[in-house]
Amino acid sequence: MSPTSSRDASQPRLDGEARATAPDRVSAQMPARTGEPAIAYPVKQPFTWWTRRRGYLLYMLREFTAVGIAAWMLLFLVQLARIRQGAAGYQPLGGPLFVAISVVCLALALWHSYTFLSLAGLFMRIPLGDRTVPARLIARAMFGALAVVTVAIAGMLIWGGA
């Protein structure tokens, strides 16, 4: 056997005696393990995650606009069902409660229009020469179109009732 240097002496020896005692020495150095084996700890997302950041809250509000819009459409369905009662029995939805609900739904619908149309510039990458059309320009065009379409539809709805 070749002479061992001082550096080798600090390494675990590979003779039979050392190999037999090695596991005990290792376990003596290790902290006692309790419960689960040593694996990475998985973290769950709490139910209230959306309250942690303003951006999360705004996201939830944006998604909630769909509820407001669909809720108002259900009221419109009620209106459509009522017309089946004939000319004498037809009673359109009205009253302060209906108007109040509609105002809330309108606010949500407008918020949907604002958020979605202002994001149109982010979705679309329209080449213009060797550049792209600025996102803000696309959003402005969308808002302009919203104003035109709203006036047109509003005009039709009122013209149909006049």
Partner 1 sequence: MTTHDSTGSRARHVPRKGPNRVLGLIWAGFATAAVVGAFIVPAHILIQGVLGPLGVPSFDRHYGTFARALSNPLVKLYLLVLFACSFYMLAFRVWYVVRELGVPSKLGVGLVSFGLSAVGLIIAGYLLFTGP
Partner 2 sequence: MTHETITLSVTRFDPGQDSRPRLQGYEVPYRDDWVVLDALNWIKSHLDGSVNYRWSCRMGICGSCGMNVNGQPKLGCSAFLRDYLPGPVVVEPMANFPIVRDLVVDISSFLDKLRWVKPWIIRDETAVGPGEHRQTPAQIDQYRQFSMCINCMLCYSACPVIPIEPEFVGPAAIALARRYQLDSRDRAGQERLGTLTGSDAIWDCSFVGECSAVCPKGVDPAKAIQQTKFESTLGMMMPWGGR
* Site for partner 2 contains 38 (CB under 8 A): yes
Supply 103's token pair.
């105002």
132 bridge partner residues: 127
Taking the CB of residue 102, how many other CB atoms lie within 10 A of it?
Answer: 15
Residues 28, 39, 43, 128: which binds partner 1 (CB under 8 A)? 39
Check: CB of residue 111 under 8 Å from CB of residue 67. no
Residue choice 76, 122, 136, 137 for contact with partner 1 (CB under 8 A): 76
Q: Which residues contact 66 (CB under 8 A, 6 or more apart)?
A: 112
Please, which residue, 18 or 106, has the CB nearer to partner 1? 106
Applying CB under 8 A, the span of 40-48, 87-95, 99-107, 142-150 interacting with partner 2 comes to 40-48
Q: What are phi and psi of 136, to 5 degrees?
A: -65, -35
Nearest distance in Å: CB 37, partner 2: 8
3-state secondary structure of 126: coil
- CA angle, residues 119, 61, 144, in degrees to nearest 5: 35
Per CB under 8 A, the segment of 12-20, 41-49, 142-150, 151-159 that binds partner 2 is 41-49
**Applying CB under 8 A, does 27 fall inside the site for partner 1?**
no
Which positions from 8 to 27 touch partner 2 by CB under 8 A, shown as an x/- string?
--------------------
Alpha-carbon distance of 104 to 52, in angstroms, equals 25
CA 88/CA 15 separation, integer angstroms:
106
Residues in touch with partner 1 (CB under 8 A): 37-40, 45, 47, 49-50, 60, 63, 66-67, 69-70, 72-77, 79-81, 83-84, 86-87, 90, 92-95, 98-99, 101-103, 105-106, 109-110, 112-113, 116-117, 120, 123, 145-146, 149-154, 157-158, 160-162
